[in-house]
Amino acid sequence: MAVREILLLGNPKLYEVSEAIKEDDLRDLPPVVADLHDTLLEFRRKYGAGRAIAACQIGFAKRLLYMFIDSPVVFINPSLENRSEEMIEVWDDCMCFPDLLVKVMRHKSCTIRFRDLSFKEHTMKLEDDLSELLQHEYDHLDGIMFIDKINPLRRKLLKGKLNDISKCKVDVSYKIKVLK
């Protein structure tokens, strides 16, 4: 379909909670899924990274995730369950700000329950990097950005290094500023 513009960190739309998808909405999803696919692959071509994307990152505020590692997986109305008590610290980045890496804590494992494009329910057990990846994407659906997961001391240290708002297309001063 089309490569869509990825909303940048600080865009107010990224901080909104995405709406649930109803079964009646399914007929409208294939073009959005195609756009997510094209956008993800273009990002991967440009930056050499990118395994999954939330629909809200391209301005479609519905509870939809798209992952392409070995094959495409569409997650409709996902929910995370059985989050492990064991946490792991990981370097996290985001397509909304591809030049920023921060350390965050994520659950080592969890389960994701979701529906596919036929609205059939599935459950997938997630471990380690796959668990971290889908927690990151799931956070997008709730309007949570990866920088919101930074511990307060790191946030304070990072904020001192962030400036030059003019490089960003939106006013991000209430959240974070763009790195030089």
Which sequence positions are flagged as catalytic? 137
Please report, as a single letter, which amino acid is at residue 102: V
* Phi, psi of 157, deg, nearest 5: -65, -40
Q: Which residues contact 103 (CB under 8 A, 6 or more apart)?
A: 89, 90, 91, 92, 150, 154
Side-by-side strand order, sheet with 121-127: 52-54, 64-68, 72-81, 109-115, 121-127
Tell me if 164 sits within 8 A of 177, measured CB to CB.
yes
CA 42 to chain centre: 16
Q: How many CA atoms lie within 13 A of 95 on its CB side?
A: 29
